[in-house]
Structure 1
Amino acid sequence: MSDPFVVVGADAAGLSAASKFRREAPDREVVVFEKGRWISYAFCGMPYFVEGRVERMSDLLSLSPSEVDERGIDLRRGHEVVTVDPEAKTVAVETADGDSFEQPYDDLLVATGARATTGPFDARGVDGAFTLHDMDAAAAIDAYVAEPDAYDPARADVSAVDRERVERNAAMPAPETAAIVGGGYVGVEMAEALAGRGLDVHVFHRSGHLLSDFGEAVGERVAEELGAKGVTVHTNAPVEALVGDDRIEAVTFGGDADGEGAETLPVDLAVVGVGIRPNTELLDGTGVELGEGGAILTDGHGRTSLSDVYAAGDCATAFHAVTGEPAWMPLGLTANRAGRAIGATVAGDPTPVGDIAGTAVVKAFDMEAGRVGLVGDDAARDAGFDPVRETVTAGSRSGYYPGAAETDVTLVADRDSGRLIGGSIVGPDRAAIRIDTLATALEADMTVPEVERLDLAYAPPFSPVWDPVLVAAKVLNGTLGEA
């Protein structure tokens, strides 16, 4: 084999690309370097493992190293790519054993993902303080929240687990009170998970409503649901510090810029989920162009500004379906889809990675929520639109059919063109899946009148005659007509 395709990162984008490439170009070599030992795991499933809904950590793995080997992929774990030389077309690699070497490439994919940020404080080195952005953290949290004599080590049934870290956390007294720092996806999902493990859970969010990217209507109903299930929600309450030397003892929150007026809550567990940052350091000094959030700027086929170098997943941008501009929205489908497309392109079949719209769903106990496109007015105006919005409440099924529940739908349109540019949905009865209708409408550049005329399915167990999406479009269309 020759003309190596080198992939950096062995998770969603990287192994999707390598697998597709191997099928399409069996005569070329493909080498995948992975800094750690974990590969191809379901990041989005980790809160459900902590909660106990997922019984074994191995259930979150898509591919094992042996399965990757069977595909003819040269996977090398414990190998970190530290620099890239685009002129020589080589990467410098350091191994976990301290060795180093250079690997030539014909084509290179950077799929290095992202890492958790912790805001103004450092959660490392303090027992009971965690970020949740890798499987070792999930295993450690799961061990920490269990009573020492009740922990089941068989739950962390993958050889890649940091066993020493798990055993250390399993030996500590089980916590009673948890602080979730950040009310985004991870924060909401972990609030449910930890409440399910019997903890007194407090969620702290910097802004006025949870799930800021979903809009106010979603944030308010999710907060109500969390409160109804015993979770205390603190909005407009940025956490200023984690208190504790060896083990977390408290969090301070809600003070002004000088720290005046801050409150203190004793806790013995803290999960920090305030954001992520793309891993792009290996391209420092190459002159690669970066985009939103410091992510690697790519074109419609995943190419970077460097010749024969591609990027995909949580470290890369893609084009936004509404604005047409590069955007950074690190989500699971985006990574898998882009990796597969790049694998095909490198193998000789140019394949677009596809646009993104930030389509996302989240669950909070019995409440479901979804969002897509430009939900906030500021984001819409920054993109050059004049946003008009309406929020309606409609039944999820025919009113006489058991299980019908109130569903809130927010639609956002451009005043001049009538084009649908964003929306969100929240409710307890199959609300989240309805966001796919809006995502499809955005991809098709549909106007609000066109959405109103969609022939959506009706039967009493599934929807009223007028689906909540159609009701919202009808109301918003009337507002646009009055403008």
Structure 2
Amino acid sequence: MADTFVVIGGDAAGMSAASKAKREDPDLDVIVFEKGEWVSYGACGMPYYVKGDIDELEDLVAITPDEFREERDIDLRTHSEVVNIDREARTVTVENEEGTYEQKYDDLLVATGARAIRPPIDGMDLDGVFTFHSMDSARAVRDAVAGVADDEREGYGSEVGEYLDGEKPESVAIVGGGYIGLEMAEAFDARGLDVSVFEMLPHVLAPFGESIAEEVEDHLREQGVSLHLDTMVERIAGEGGEDGEDGRVAAIETGDERHPVDSVLVATGVAPNAELAVEAGIETGETGAIATDELGRTSAEEVFAAGDCAEAHNVVTDAPDYVPLALTANRAGRAIGSTVAGDPTEVGGIVGTAVVKVFDLEVARTGVIDSDEAQQAGFDPVSQVITAGSRAHYYPGGTPITIEMVADRETGRLLGAAMVGEEGVAKRIDTIATALHAEMTVEEVQNLDLAYAPPFSPVWDPVLTAAKVLSGKLE
């Protein structure tokens, strides 16, 4: 009898693992349980669907459920939620529309993803208040800003509340100045809404560092986005009821100030869906995500975890980290699929590389930039900020790129970098990420043989210039 590999969760990590395991061992029974209807979709594209750059939500789907079933011979069961893991019996309990049943497994992957954080703010359940993480929420938000009437909207799933009865909003408040919040600011602006961003920290994009954040903030203001920094949202007020706690959203309240608004997007981050694993006695790490080893194994025998519910190993800090991004999930899932099929494969480390488009800017980061974080990891950080042109000074069309680069004073080891500019940033950050994986010093980065041609770079690429100036600071 063939072994059975059960996967809980049908997005990046889960379907990558299922596909790789079945491809490597065609005799393996691979069963995937997904509580919703969507599988293998590009969540990172959802802001551009709301903006209108992507016409149909289905365009974000890489491989359809039928293709997994018919072409890859994977037993994919949608609308099927795993509600319990029995480690001793090696079974999972599944609920679907027809009832409850148990499924045995030999190997199990927990790939339950993450969920949008719902902060403890009064008014979260008002009409016109949204979170943004699932495909259903993307459709709900796009329909809301487009003024789609109630009787024309499709079902959105239980996590999406009521919206605006077909009345198109004129303004939106975004609570949270992270990746999603700023991507959605651009999307809402393109839809003709007045956009305000409320961020409790002193700057947007806090993990990118102050120098980079300030340039992003200036650009947001130039685009007409109203910024409320270092500002705590205390309440989302409605227009109904004596206390304004019913009906449709009417305002954001921050201390003594009231900001009228007719829709709200709460984008305060995500939390790992680790509860199912915890209930089964599987250990989580300090981040709150499921703890895993180099093969993606958890503390429970024959149980793996990957994707946005699991920790990863940070190459720079040499410690567990939680960075819920797409490549991390896909790569870990693929590795676990190989391991389950008989070829033990490490899931690989991360350096926290990320890039975000904010209107006309490319903004990127990788490694450790924050000095406190670097010190906690045992480093003595030294940083340098430089600005250089994206092209040769005489070639038309070039724009400035600002880079903050950080290194360890004692060893000269490169620790991280962040950068912002209108062109060339999104790929330059990959050079830094590669150097971090190789544990290079800034002097070694300075001596890299990078490509040069006037339309693409000065002779001294901005990355090389940043490394050269920082190296001199360490001497």
- The change in CA–CA distance for 1:442 and 1:9 in structure 2 (over 3 A counts) is same
Structure 2 counterpart of 1:391: 385
Q: Aligned equivalents of 1:93 and 1:123: distance in 2? A: 34
How far is 1:263 from its partner?
1.2
How far is 1:39 from its partner?
1.2
How far is 1:166 from its partner?
9.6
How far is 1:240 from its partner?
1.2
Structure 1 counterpart of 2:174: 180
Q: Aligned equivalents of 1:334 and 1:128: distance in 2? A: 33
Helix, strand or coil: the match of 2:382? strand
- Provide structure 1 residue ranges, at least 5 long, that are not aligned to the other structure: 256-261
Structure 2 counterpart of 1:456: 450
1:11-22 equivalence runs, <5 A: 11-22=11-22
How far is 1:432 from its partner?
2.0
- The change in CA–CA distance for 1:27 and 1:416 in structure 2 (over 3 A counts) is same
Structure 1 counterpart of 2:431: 437
Structure 1 counterpart of 2:42: 42
**Contact 1:292–1:317 (8 Å) recurs in 2:** no
- The change in CA–CA distance for 1:426 and 1:102 in structure 2 (over 3 A counts) is same
Structure 2 counterpart of 1:258: none
Q: TM-score, normalization: structure 1?
A: 0.93
State the one-letter code of the partner of 1:447: T
**Contact 2:128–2:162 (8 Å) recurs in 1:** no
Helix, strand or coil: the match of 1:237? coil
- The change in CA–CA distance for 1:313 and 1:458 in structure 2 (over 3 A counts) is same
How far is 1:124 from its partner?
5.0
Q: Aligned equivalents of 1:278 and 1:167: distance in 2? A: 21
Structure 1 counterpart of 2:235: 241
Helix, strand or coil: the match of 2:248? coil
> Aligned pair 1:328/2:329, yes or no?
no
- Provide structure 2 residue ranges, at least 5 long, that are not aligned to the other structure: 239-245
Structure 1 counterpart of 2:27: 27
State the one-letter code of the partner of 1:473: A
1:346-370 CA deviation, whole Å, 9 max, x = no partner? 0001111110111000011111110
1:109-161 CA deviation, whole Å, 9 max, x = no partner? 00000111122226653211000010111111111111448x997xx9xx9x5
Aligned structure 1 segments of 4 or more residues deviating by more than 4 angstroms: 163-170
How far is 1:241 from its partner?
1.2
Identity of aligned residues (%): 55
Q: Which range moves more in the overlay, 76-85 or 193-202?
A: 76-85
How far is 1:171 from its partner?
3.9
Helix, strand or coil: the match of 1:193? helix
Helix, strand or coil: the match of 1:313? coil
Structure 2 counterpart of 1:277: 271
Q: Aligned equivalents of 1:54 and 1:206: distance in 2? A: 31
Structure 2 counterpart of 1:119: 119
Structure 1 counterpart of 2:63: 63
Q: Aligned equivalents of 2:159 and 2:473: distance in 1? A: 57
How far is 1:94 from its partner?
1.4
Structure 2 counterpart of 1:313: 307
* Total equivalences in the alignment: 467
Helix, strand or coil: the match of 2:287? helix
State the one-letter code of the partner of 1:289: E
Structure 1 counterpart of 2:243: none
- The change in CA–CA distance for 1:284 and 1:165 in structure 2 (over 3 A counts) is closer
> Aligned pair 1:209/2:203, yes or no?
yes
Cα-Cα RMSD:
1.9
**Contact 1:130–1:272 (8 Å) recurs in 2:** yes
- The change in CA–CA distance for 1:152 and 1:61 in structure 2 (over 3 A counts) is farther
State the one-letter code of the partner of 1:118: R
> Aligned pair 1:420/2:414, yes or no?
yes
Helix, strand or coil: the match of 1:246? strand
Q: Which range moves more in the overlay, 170-179 or 358-367?
A: 170-179
1:84-125 CA deviation, whole Å, 9 max, x = no partner? 11111111111134x111111000000000111122226653
- The change in CA–CA distance for 1:305 and 1:132 in structure 2 (over 3 A counts) is same
Q: Aligned equivalents of 2:279 and 2:159: distance in 1? A: 35
Q: Aligned equivalents of 2:470 and 2:160: distance in 1? A: 52
- The change in CA–CA distance for 1:83 and 1:117 in structure 2 (over 3 A counts) is same
1:24-70 CA deviation, whole Å, 9 max, x = no partner? 11101000001111111111111100000111111111111111112
Q: Aligned equivalents of 1:167 and 1:326: distance in 2? A: 35
> Aligned pair 1:480/2:445, yes or no?
no
Structure 1 counterpart of 2:192: 198
Q: Aligned equivalents of 1:168 and 1:105: distance in 2? A: 39
Structure 2 counterpart of 1:140: 140
Q: Which one of the candidate residues 207, 215, 224 is aligned to 1:221?
A: 215
Q: Aligned equivalents of 1:476 and 1:16: distance in 2? A: 40
**Contact 1:120–1:241 (8 Å) recurs in 2:** no
How far is 1:239 from its partner?
1.2
